[in-house]
Structure 1
Amino acid sequence: MGERQTGPTDREMKKLMGMKRTARWSRAAMIASIVLLFGFPILCSALRIDIPGLVFVALFLLMFLMLIVSEITKGRAKKKQAAMGVSRTPDELEADRKKAEKVSRLAASPEAVDRRLARLAGLNRFCQWNLRAGVAGMLLAAVAALIHQFVTELPIPLVVVLAIVTSIFIVVGVLGSLWVKKKQKDLSLHYTPKVLEAVLDRVDLYDHRGSVDHGYLWEDFSYPGREWVGPCGDHVKGVLKGMPIEFSEFCFQYETVERDKDGKTTREVHTSFSGMMVISRHGFRLNNKVTLTQFSHFHHALGTESVDFNSAWSIREDAGQDAFYILTPHYMEELIALDQDKWMKMGIQFRPDGTLLIVMQDVDFFEVDEAKSTEELKEKLKNELLGLADTMERIGAVTLEEIAAQQEEGEGAT
């Protein structure tokens, strides 16, 4: 993907902002139609009012139409924004500024933050309870439908009401969880820089919407299908336990196009991979690039004498035997142990210039989760960073002192 040499025009920016507004309003209309679709039968039953079935058909069609418009418009806006080389539109920047001011005012009082975190934690538990109740209700509705079909007839309104109530539980749980997570993220963004300064030896950069160089992201770790880099965030540069480090969260996305029998086209944007990329340094002297992955197997992958290692990792080297220089029996045991200790799948790349790339799937740092106070939040963020340092050390990241010693040794040899 080439970058534009000039910035976007006002007309292009207005068009992009209009597409994003259309996507937001379409999504809001879809949610409203879902509420009406599921709420009307209960209300009509309570008031004993008969409403033509055509109304419910119209609501269902509206919900489906708004879903399609929202997804298609959102996907086109993302592709247009990527082509324009714009990370944030003016209205989004203004919204971020207002949000940051609001969070800063709130964070000025730790007691207020603690109260907000406690409320959000309670709302999160409520949303999770709704999701569990919804799943249980779906099972009950399925059992009731089977009993009605094969055993004995049940009152149809009972089955319908059970299905509707179940759907409401699920909608409340899903939408509520998304809202709570967004509010929690706003609070965590205020404390992340402070925790970085306390844990890292040195902080050179923190940008919650930034990204590592996309050239590194496009390295082949045998990812699933991908067409472009999606939203990135939590870009950090600095030194952690003596090791130079840079990392950010990222994702890959792709688009599918389907045509129905009438020739109408439906486009959907999907996320094929999400995780974190870490950039550091290794101490191996290599002539070739060596890549290990757990996401899927490379074609023509190299094999080792360890059956356990071959089942856990897939190895690729374009030429030479550097992979076997790295993969000593002791190191393979370390990686097998790391795989057993860490819950996420990983990819590792050793480059000839000394760059070490580590990809961790489904890793999302700096989230509040169940933290109910500022102290719990700070402790959680600190543990995440220390866990990352442990992973880097076990993979083979070297410190700045070790890098300097290697450079001096190389200069002495010449």
Structure 2
Amino acid sequence: MNELRINGPRLWTSLMDLARIGATDKGGVKRLALTDLDRQGRDLVVQWGRDAGLAITVDRIGNVFMRREGSNPALAPVVTGSHIDTQPTGGKFDGNYGVLAGLEVIRTLNDHGIQTEAPIEVAFWTNEEGSRFVPVMMGSGVFCGAFSLETACAARDTEGKSVGEELARIGYAGEQTPGDHPIGAYFEAHIEQGPVLEDADKVIGVVPAVMGLSWYDCTVSGMEAHAGPTPMGLRRDALQVATTIMQEVVAIANRYPPYGRGTVGMVQVFPNSRNVIPGQVKFSIDLRNVNDALLNTMHEEITAFIDKTRQDSGLSIDLERVSYYPPCPFHPDCVDAVRAATATLGYSSMDVVSGAGHDAIYVARLAPAGMIFVPCKDGISHNEIEDAQPGHLEAGCNVLLHAMLARAGAPAGPEDAARTIRQPTQPEVVA
């Protein structure tokens, strides 16, 4: 069984075929959730699943599950997947790779006539990107109960169209209640979306955890005044005060290496005029860490700094935490399965903590979960020039194949591919 490998050229062809739906002039993909292009992408992947003999189930938030039966259908399935919706300036691989790698695992098992004891399923989750509807990771979030189906279906895009209406329009408002679909274990293959693997010249990233994050909206209110007649000491300059807070965001992150992150990504200056002292500045703050205690410390430090800045400057400063996701450690059995498969296959590897959110975060609340990373060129993602080497994608899919077989129960060698072995005992679920 250790000699088993996926068909790399077939995986690449599937990726390129799906990328034609919503293809952009710069070589990327724009296939926003629940648009007509998303429907076309869904229809294509579902048809490929049916061609591979898979049974299709769709739940009420539009999550799709494609099932290959095992010799013991009573066992909870070993599931893999990701998403096929993209950013407005998305690439060919973000999310799509995880779904089509799962499909390639199924095709490879079919090619070799291998039956697992537990069923194997490929899932793709609705609106992971959150670029048309919020919240992000919507389908997996509803599935695990992070927020309600009613809340998600009521979300509207900038044109006033709701998730519920669009699901019905494209034909993917299924009948199954989200969360009623059992999962025995979950693996997600993904491009890294960062530069670490490429910089270290490693093929496989073993993902032990995903960073937690705290998002804030900060508003500093001063007073607009003429830039010429107003002396420096008499100004109530909202921008100058805001920039001290922005610098502290970076300083806090640097105090907690190696996983401290601090970013100000959005800034709005009012009145935004060349010769007017800014009277109000609104900006975002993004703090991340893989350690929840450190993330809470970072939260306490930014709030304390703002309290002091408010007192020292005399300006009104409002800080609102708008999102919080705790760090997500993946199940050690799934992490070990990825690590063991990588070693068996002889690929170079390293541990990589994910700084981006993935559907696996929510699935991990319900079942043992793990992730597999492969490099992407220059660490670039959420960009039309996003790229990955076919050999790296093939390697990641091979690791996925063997990790899933370790969980699902598979023949011990090619000579006895017709028989199955017992599925490993399910460990206690950790979130």
TM-score by length of structure 1 reads: 0.25
Between 1 and 2, higher relative CO (CA 8 Å, sep ≥ 6) is seen in 2
TM-score normalised to structure 2 length: 0.24
The answer to which structure has the higher helix fraction is 1
Structure with higher Rg: it is 1
